Amino acid sequence: MAVGPGRHRRRHPTGRTARPRRPGPELLAALLTVGRAQGLLFAELAAAGDDAARRAFDRVGRDLAGHAALAFLEIRRGTFVDRARVEASLGPMVAATGALLAGTGVEDRWRDRLGPLMGALGLDLRKL
């Protein structure tokens, strides 16, 4: 069954249509860490730009922050993914995102905002 131009649903070996995959733990960890970082970077661009830049970058920054918030809520609930696997994925994601933000002027704010979220999940940001 065609789903869009050039895309087809995966077929089960028996011919049945396979269920779509649920979001993986790495995806939710990335949405929480990288998405939050991107939101802060776009907010920084919005603050430094003119009116047109502020409107464009502010909206993107808020959207990314919203996606990060939804990822956090899903991790906390654990409805779709195994929370232990997400927590294991957070360590490398936090380290990689921190390295990407080094020297941007946003790293401290990112860590300050991510710390309480990790605390709410029962994790210590310093130990990830």
User: Residue 4 — very low, low, confident or very high, per pLDDT cuts 50/70/90?
Assistant: low
Arithmetic mean of pLDDT, 78-97: 88
- Find the helix or strand (DSSP H, E) in which 3 lies: strand 2-4
Tokens of 58: 């502010």
3-state class (DSSP) for residue 11: strand
What pLDDT is attached to residue 16?
63
pLDDT tens digit sequence for 9-30: 566 566 666 565 666 889 999 9
- For residues 20 and 38, give the distance between their C-alpha atoms in angstroms, rounded to a whole number: 27
Residues contacting residue 53 through CB under 8 Å, at least 6 positions apart: 45, 46
b (16+ CB within 10 A) / e for 51-87:
eeeeeebbebbeebbebbbebbebbeeeeebebeebb
pLDDT tens by residue, 44-81: 999 998 999 898 899 999 999 999 999 999 998 888 88
pLDDT tens column, 27-39:
999 999 999 999 9
Distance CA 81, CA 84 (A): 9
Query: Are 110 and 44 a contacting pair, CB within 8 Å?
Result: no
Residue 126: per-residue pLDDT: 78
Q: What pLDDT shows up at residue 69?
A: 94
Q: Taking the model in full, what pTM does it have? A: 0.73
Place of tokens 């991107």: 38
Question: Would the pLDDT of 86 be above 60?
Answer: yes
